[in-house]
Amino acid sequence: MSTLTGQRPSGPAPYRPSGPARYRPSGLTWTVLRLHRTALYVWGAALLVAAAALIWLVAAGPDARATVGGCDAADPFPMDCGTVHWTTTARIYSYGLALVSAGVTFQMFAVAVWAGAVLTGRELESGTARLAWTQSVTPARWLATRLAVPAALLTAGTALAVLLGNWTRRAGNGHLSGGWFNTNVFISSGPVAITYALAGLALGALAGLALRRALPAAAAALAAAYVLYEVLDRIRMSLWPSVTATGRAALQLPNGTLVLEQGVVSGDGRRLSNYMACSGIDNSAALGKCMRESEWTDFWTTYHPESHYWPLQLVESGLLLAVTGLAAAAAFALLRRRHA
């Protein structure tokens, strides 16, 4: 009758926050950020330190570049040119950039351990996840949020580190920052860095859901990430077709070339690898004489030019995204089977 007569129902009024608390973020996303704020602070601090270091190294780039000698265009082995005069500036630039590159490369292992031990394993072990599932949060939504929030932060932060790292490399010299095919340089300078971090996140989450205990999940996630890293490191240069040059071109490769194999061709047509007799002779007549006396008919070199950087990056990124998708799908399937 109170409603019909216009009177308010008796009892305490529902609580409505006022002031700054009224605009405080809420929801499952905010819960994930608050619950894992320590990891967020540590990761954010590491990102800020790396960014500050890279910006500082840019200022040292011109001085570091001056410590590298030029290349003689007539040199038949341009990979050997560019002598570095190791000044203090050159060492700081080279070691600093190498340290940041290693940090970006190996963050996958830290992400995998954290995702297995803290993001999923500890919450399942302590019962926090089951408590959340009783409060109008489905297991699928719980897992989706725990994967989506870190994935977004890792993508944005790693992309920033990659862009700053490439800016720093352009300010210096390739002989100081390492060749594009160097493992740490290759991973930390392109989209592969982001996909490695996402793969570590998915593998860690899967390990946590499978084992439901923090320490075993951390160990399993670390092992899975290490196996993935080693396998891709071993097959990386076979993910895109290499180029084989013969004749004089096999001896005059452009700068930035990764030589996979090289050798000579014998009189009976056999290719002998890692045998480069007569290869250090510049004069054509002397080179021809040496080849006749040695009974070699030709030179050959199998290599990856620097232009293969992006195809290799995209293929490896695709493989890592496939691993990430499979691990995430397996995690959702496991969660659905246990809590159907």
pLDDT digits (tens, 9 = 90+) for 68-121: 555 444 444 444 444 555 667 677 777 888 899 999 999 999 999 999 888 888
Residues 188 and 272 in one domain: no
| pLDDT score recorded for residue 323 | 97
Give the pTM.
0.82
Residues 221 and 297 in one domain: no
pLDDT tens digits, 149-160: 999 999 999 999
> Which has the closest alpha carbon to 202: 111, 32, 324?
324
Residues 83 and 162 in one domain: yes
Residues 98 and 187 in one domain: yes
Q: How many domains does the chain fold into?
A: 2
Residues 159 and 294 in one domain: no
Q: Which residues span the domain enclosing 76?
A: 42-237+308-338
Q: Which segments in the chain show pLDDT lower than 50?
A: 1-6, 8, 14-15, 17, 19-26, 71-82
| pLDDT score recorded for residue 23 | 40
- Cα(23)–Cα(141) distance, rounded to whole angstroms? 24
16 occurs within a structural domain: no
74 contacts 52 by C-beta, under 8 angstroms:
no
59 occurs within a structural domain: yes
- Cα(322)–Cα(116) distance, rounded to whole angstroms? 19
Residues 200 and 173 in one domain: yes
Residues 140 and 172 in one domain: yes
Residues 285 and 324 in one domain: no
| pLDDT score recorded for residue 200 | 96
Residues 153 and 189 in one domain: yes
Residues 79 and 180 in one domain: yes
Paired residues of 272 in beta bridges = 264
